[in-house]
Amino acid sequence: MLDIKFIRENPDIVKKTLAEKCLTLDVDELLAIDKKIIQIKQLMEAELQKRNALSKEMPKASPERKEEIKELSKNSGQQAASYAEELKPLEEQFKSMMGMTPTIPAPDVPRGTSEDENVVIRQVGEKPTFDFELKDHVELMDLNNWGEFKKISQICGSRTVGIKGELLQLEMALWQFTINKLMTKGFTVMSVPSLSFENAFYHTGHFPFDYDSVYSIPKDNLYLAGTAEVILNSIHAGDILKESDLPIMYAGFSPCFRREAGAAGKDTRGLIRVHQFSKVEQYIICKADVAESDKMHQFILQNAEEVMQEMEIPYQIIANCTGDMGAGKYRMNDIEAWCPGQNQYRETHSCSSLLDWQARRTNIRYREDETGKVKYAYTLNNTGLATPRVLVAFIENHQQADGSVRIPKALQPYMGGKTKIGGK
RNA sequence: GGAGAGUUGGCAGAGUGGUAAUGCAGCGGAUUGCUAAUCCGUCAUCAUGAAAAUGAUGCACAGGUUCGAGUCCUGUACUCUCCGCCA
């Protein structure tokens, strides 16, 4: 969410951003409510002030005066309570509208209304050519007995899968490779639960925007997070950090759950879109400085690219346009991996800068060394590695004529020295 | 699942219904000058104000009792101790 002071002073910029991001929010109404809340609060505060003054007098008052004070104080209290009652619905509406206010995107972000207007900013790696008939990942999995699709779906529902044999070994090697890399880059690596309370989802901004894409466990008031970001972001909720603590860099590993409610009939085949997967997520809290945030953005993007390069998977970097980036984002770059079996690039990573939008919701602040002032921090996140989706690109790119899959050099130590898996 | 004890500022830590002590750290200022000490102020949010300042709110969270709640009551979350169950 934005600073209300900024909205008061720049309503036109906010309106323009809403249009660019294809969001609807009545800014004039928000400002009207803001004004009204302040008016009522002033009246309420005047009553409370009266009551406080009377309370102060109370212990030293004569018995008759005490009775008088009781009466006066009660009146003020009741008056204040009625103002508070009046405020309640206004504040609720204010809060929910504030939650919808958008971060003003970076000036160089492409303007557009849907993902069709995203811009490819660079392509890295060479697409492989095959002198045999190439297979897609499902065919490769069948051939090598790497997947349990049918039985698992019957037990666990659609979009679930069991990963078997050497493909599981590969999956785990990829996690380990990524965790090790991020550790050497200075990240605090941490496995985090997927279960969390509702609050954490509001903090990140997943709620109220994406309510339908999250699994809930009503009996225990818990929800299943679709990304470790939800948990990592709330670790410092309410904290006032020291500037010298920043940047805080977490690499979280967790099972991730997504209902995929809006994706009925889409990507139903194979590993592309499943309800449960595992992910290493990069998450950063840095000081409130756009240049610093941009630097961090490039850093976490670079980390993800390095993994892709060392895995020898061709990919492209997308500049997501305003209409595809979500309310909170200042800048967003997806990484899409080349998947020869589908003859297209598929999203495997999503790198986002949110400035203070998320930190305001979560109440993550820090004390500036020089001034002693308390400021909202900036937050960023990017995928480190998401399996099994990245396995699709991995095995399709590295497949051989006999159905085996070669293991790039960098990963061989994590695979017990194997140079290939599967095949005859 | 059962029983008990807790949760107070960046940190530590008092506070048994009447203005949230005190210490440390940070920031601002004063003073003295050998790398520091001492003193004063400030130290979360909001409103009014050019500012100084003034006022309101803030003691895990949400309610309640009361003229008045950190303090009493109810619910929730978490932490610790013990019992039970358990990979």
Digitized pLDDT (tens) for each residue of chain A, 424 residues in all: 899 999 999 999 999 999 999 999 999 999 999 999 999 999 999 999 999 988 888 888 888 888 889 899 999 999 999 999 899 889 989 988 999 999 999 999 999 999 999 999 999 999 999 999 999 999 999 999 999 999 999 999 999 999 999 999 999 999 999 999 999 999 999 999 999 989 999 999 999 888 899 999 888 888 999 999 999 999 999 888 888 889 999 999 999 999 998 888 888 889 999 999 999 999 999 999 999 999 999 999 999 999 999 999 999 999 999 999 999 999 999 999 999 999 999 999 999 999 999 999 999 999 888 778 888 999 999 999 999 999 999 999 999 999 999 999 999 999 999 999 999 7
Distance A198 CA to B2 C1' (A): 28
Using the CB atom, is residue A218 less than 7 Å from strand B?
no
Using the CB atom, is residue A38 less than 7 Å from strand B?
yes
Distance A118 CA to B80 C1' (A): 53
Separation of alpha carbons A3 and A13, rounded Å: 13
Looking at residue A265, the DSSP 8-state letter turns out to be T
Q: Are A272 and A372 in contact (CB under 8 A)?
A: no
- Positions 50-89 of A with beta carbon below 7 A from strand B are 51-56, 58-59, 69-70, 73-74, 77
Distance A75 CA to B68 C1' (A): 13
What positions of strand B are covered by protein, i.e. any atom < 7 Å from a CB?
9-10, 18-19, 26-28, 42-48, 55-57, 67-68, 77
pLDDT of residue A7: 94
Using the CB atom, is residue A360 less than 7 Å from strand B?
no
Q: Which nucleotide is nearest to A41 (CA to C1')?
A: B47
Comparing every residue's Cα with the C1' atom of nucleotide B42, the nearest one is A372
Residue A373: which residues within 8 A CB-CB, separation 6 or more? A367
Using the CB atom, is residue A373 less than 7 Å from strand B?
yes
Distance A239 CA to B6 C1' (A): 21
pLDDT of residue A59: 81
Sign of CA dihedral A413, A392, A319, A385: negative
Comparing every residue's Cα with the C1' atom of nucleotide B9, the nearest one is A240
pLDDT of residue A272: 94
Distance A301 CA to B24 C1' (A): 41
Using the CB atom, is residue A239 less than 7 Å from strand B?
yes
pLDDT of residue A268: 85
Q: Give the sheet arrangement for strand A315-319, strand by strand.
A: A119-124, A315-319, A331-339, A344-353, A378-387, A276-286, A248-257, A188-191
ipTM confidence score:
0.86
Using the CB atom, is residue A343 less than 7 Å from strand B?
no
User: Mind telling me the catalytic residues of A?
Assistant: 258, 273, 347, 350, 389
Distance A127 CA to B46 C1' (A): 58
Q: Give the sheet arrangement for strand A195-196, strand by strand.
A: A195-196, A222-224, A215-217
Q: Which nucleotide is nearest to A239 (CA to C1')?
A: B10
Instruction: Write the DSSP assignment of A67-78 as a string of letters.
Output: HHHHHHHHHHHH
pLDDT of residue A288: 92
Using the CB atom, is residue A36 less than 7 Å from strand B?
no
Using the CB atom, is residue A295 less than 7 Å from strand B?
no
Distance A157 CA to B1 C1' (A): 32
A381: Cα separation from own chain's centroid: 7
Q: Which nucleotide is nearest to A374 (CA to C1')?
A: B44
Comparing every residue's Cα with the C1' atom of nucleotide B19, the nearest one is A56
pTM for the model: 0.93
Distance A370 CA to B32 C1' (A): 25
Separation of alpha carbons A30 and A100, rounded Å: 11
